[in-house]
Amino acid sequence: MAAVASETVNLVINDVEIAVPKGELIVESVKRLGLEIPIFCYHPRMKPVGMCRMCLVEVGFKQPDGSVRKMPKPQAACTLPAQDNMVIFTDTEMVHRDRKGVLEFLLINHPLDCPICDRGGECPLQNNTLFYGPSTSRFIEVKRHAHKAFPLSKYVTLDLERCIQCGRCVRFTEEISGDSELAFRFRGASMQPSTFELRDFTSKFSGNVIEICPVGALTNREYRFRARPWDLETKPSICLECSNGCATWFDYRVNRLVRVNGRTNEAINEEWTCDRGKFGHEHYNADNRLTVPLIRRGDRLEECDWPTAYAAILSAFGVGGDKVAMLAGSSLSNEGAYLLNRLFHRKFGSANVDYRRTAHTLPPDEAAGNAPTAIADLELKPSILVFGNSPADDIPIIFLRIRKAWFKHGARVVVAHHGETEADSFADVVLRYAPGTDADLAKGLVAARANDAAGVAQAAAACGVDESRIREAAALLGENTAIVTTDSLLNSASGADAFRALRQLGGELNRYALGANDQGFADLGLVPGPDGRGTAAILAGCADGSIESLWLAGADPFAFGDRATVEKALEQVGFVVYQGTHKSEAMGFASVVLPMAEPAEGDGTYVNAERRLQELRAVLSPPGEAKAAWRIGAELALRVGMAKPYFGAKDVAAEIFTQVPAFRGVAFGDRLN
């Protein structure tokens, strides 16, 4: 949203006087009175284009003698800035007639196949027609025909017959996602939104055009024909496919997830989602979900009950100390992670717990204070340095903010990465360095800021970037710069050094987490203590026999570790607990399998990349006997006599609020201390 203008103007809307910021669009001003103007092409987050003419209003101006002189023709409210003495009419005979006309016109070529359209029931075209449109059409000629259900991409279906040519989808790819993959071809009634030469629509944010299309022209291929809106129940959720924690709606039908839509949260995702989040939740419905606890008998995993599984685990982990270890997976809730962490530290007396999966790690004192810049504040930064990551892949919604900072507020952006990134398209300076030379480039930037010519020359030689480029980039940086790195920087051998060097650059240095709740684990202290072992050391310990029992809490080491190492580790270690949602390869090595609920199947809190604490209330019920992470932790705690019983995730959260300093006094929706 634009900053609030200080200057206001007085206008009259339907006989009510109102003061609004000068230049505000009339379509927004009328909302202040609780009035509604029907719209199609206007979208509050994009520039107005006035293409559909649905928003017509009558406009007049107060004359010096007090009379009102009306303009002869109606005006589009979405392109009309508020001025002094304006008089707006949204409810006159003429306006109603014009709206009927516009709708009749829009429906001329619309197939009206609402009964089989996935948008039917939640369609702005249906709604506007019902409220403002004519009840019949005079058009009896043959309608425009086009290919039905054209697969625009893996996720999006295009039905050209239904398109009303509002241009929202085209503008989204130009203004918001920035890939400009959609454009209009042809003119007049044959105008079609599509990709160039009908190439695949590969945008990483393509799902949003489905939601902003005011008709059923762009529909969701995964949701196709799965339900009608009135079949659905919906609950608020948060997306835990990456660390951004976008607000979403979970739509489900008979306890089965059918689609995910964006939910407005101005602090994080505004209203957008990335495709990973919007289409990445099919694992909820997978056939290989775990539904009952399993225990190893001989070379088979047999079904058992929870008490048997717990008893086996507790006797195996009884050895305690350095002989046991836990690896945590990124979608465990704070509650689940906290309870297991405490079990290890207090009961098993072990500090071998870790969640980090990067090849290298920072020592604890350097790892703290990861994310000083809130996502929403990024757009107000005069300059942004993206270092050592591709934000559209690592942190997609933060990528949209960085782009918005440039597109809307003119931020200068420097992108330093060894590969191509989507952010290159709007960067002022792109620094493409040789892989592994992150630290050299970071030092070069520091040297350039300090006018140390020798330092710059040395860095340039080492990382293969032009000296002048480095200087050019450094000139754009300053105390107000936001530096955006992610944990993937630590996969590079010199990543940790780069991070240290970037610290001297000034500005706000962010190292955003990658996994859904990685930031929460960091703040809960789910890291090895001074005498504990980290992920790599734990796997090595399993392989050499110094660790006897390993707990995989939502973690699948095959997904991040080197194959041979992981296989050796899991083969050698005596006892493996696999606490997970799905069957996987690692499960084959398990001694006990605990079926876990997916995040939206249980209550829990999560911390996103900018350290915002968010609450997720159960949307679905878990399959079979699966349990939410907090419940598994709570039942174990009770069995080892550690706690008063917890009756819900809320009780555990309450304890976290008192026990963990970073969480003290933080409300849901706020950032941690």
Q: Identify any residues that bridge with 262 across adjacent strands, giving them in sequence order.
A: 248
Which 3 state secondary structure label does DSSP give 9?
strand
Q: Which residue among 20, 25, 29, 53 contacts ligand FES (CB under 6 A)? A: 53
Q: Give which of other proteins, ligand FES, ligand SF4, none residue 298 binds (C-beta under 5 to 8 Å, depending on kind).
A: none
Segment 172-211, which members bind ligand SF4 (CB under 6 A)? 193
Q: How many residues bind other proteins (CB under 8 A)?
A: 14
Q: Give which of other proteins, ligand FES, ligand SF4, none residue 169 binds (C-beta under 5 to 8 Å, depending on kind).
A: ligand SF4
Cβ atoms of 437 and 498 closer than 8 Å: no
Instruction: Kindly tell me which of 230 and 647 has the beta carbon lying closer to other proteins.
Output: 230
Which 3 state secondary structure label does DSSP give 226?
coil
36 makes contact with other proteins (CB under 8 A): no
Q: Give which of ligand FES, ligand SF4, other proteins, none residue 416 binds (C-beta under 5 to 8 Å, depending on kind).
A: none
Q: Give the β-pairing of 429-431 and 353-354.
A: unpaired
Residue 322 region by backbone torsions, left for phi larger than 0, else alpha for psi between -120 and 50, else beta: alpha
Q: How far is the CB of 137 from other proteins (least distance, A)?
A: 17
Query: In this structure, what are the phi and psi dihedrals at residue 648, rounded to the nearest 5 degrees?
Result: -165, 170
Segment 121-150, which members bind other proteins (CB under 8 A)? 121, 148-149
225 makes contact with other proteins (CB under 8 A): yes
Instruction: Kindly tell me which of 69 and 147 has the beta carbon lying closer to other proteins.
Output: 147
41 makes contact with ligand FES (CB under 6 A): yes
Residue among 35, 107, 46, 48 at smallest CA distance from 75: 48
Cβ atoms of 103 and 30 closer than 8 Å: no
43 makes contact with ligand SF4 (CB under 6 A): no
Rounded to whole angstroms, the Cα distance separating 9 from 11 reads 7
Instruction: Kindly tell me which of 176 and 327 has the beta carbon lying closer to ligand FES.
Output: 176
Choices 227-235, 272-280, 402-410, 491-499; region in contact with other proteins by CB under 8 A? 227-235
351 makes contact with ligand FES (CB under 6 A): no
Alpha-carbon distances, residue 434 vs 62, 202, 441, 454, 465 (angstroms): 66, 27, 9, 20, 8
44 makes contact with ligand FES (CB under 6 A): no
Structure token pair of residue 327: 């690896």
Choices 29-37, 214-222, 245-253, 339-347; region in contact with ligand SF4 by CB under 6 A? 214-222
Structure token pair of residue 153: 């991409």
Q: Give which of other proteins, ligand SF4, ligand FES, none residue 228 binds (C-beta under 5 to 8 Å, depending on kind).
A: other proteins
Q: Which residue among 9, 11, 59, 76 contacts ligand FES (CB under 6 A)? A: 76
Q: How far is the CB of 105 from ligand SF4 (least distance, A)?
A: 14
Q: Identify any residues that bridge with 12 across adjacent strands, giving them in sequence order.
A: 17, 87
416 makes contact with ligand SF4 (CB under 6 A): no
Helix (H) or strand (E) holding 279: helix 275-279
Q: Which residue among 163, 430, 483, 613 contacts ligand SF4 (CB under 6 A)? A: 163
DSSP 37: -
Residue 373 region by backbone torsions, left for phi larger than 0, else alpha for psi between -120 and 50, else beta: beta
171 makes contact with ligand FES (CB under 6 A): no
Q: Give which of ligand FES, other proteins, ligand SF4, none residue 186 binds (C-beta under 5 to 8 Å, depending on kind).
A: none
Helix (H) or strand (E) holding 455: helix 453-463
Residue carrying structure tokens 């000629």: 141
Q: Identify any residues that bridge with 386 across adjacent strands, giving them in sequence order.
A: 415, 484
Q: What is the x/- site pattern for other proteins, positions 257-276, by CB under 8 A?
A: --------------------
55 makes contact with ligand FES (CB under 6 A): yes
Q: How far is the CB of 76 from ligand SF4 (least distance, A)?
A: 16
Query: Helices 629-639 and 334-342 sit at what angle, rounded to 10 degrees?
Result: 20
Cβ atoms of 221 and 239 closer than 8 Å: no
DSSP 235: E
39 makes contact with ligand FES (CB under 6 A): yes
Q: Supply the DSSP string of 189-220, one letter for each residue.
A: GG-EEEEGGG-----TTTHHHHHH-SSTTEEE
222 makes contact with other proteins (CB under 8 A): no
52 makes contact with ligand FES (CB under 6 A): yes
Q: Give which of other proteins, ligand SF4, ligand FES, none residue 280 binds (C-beta under 5 to 8 Å, depending on kind).
A: none
Cβ atoms of 406 and 385 closer than 8 Å: no
Q: Which residues bind ligand FES (CB under 6 A)?
A: 39-42, 50-55, 76, 78
Residues that bind ligand SF4 (CB under 6 A): 163-169, 193, 213-215, 217-218
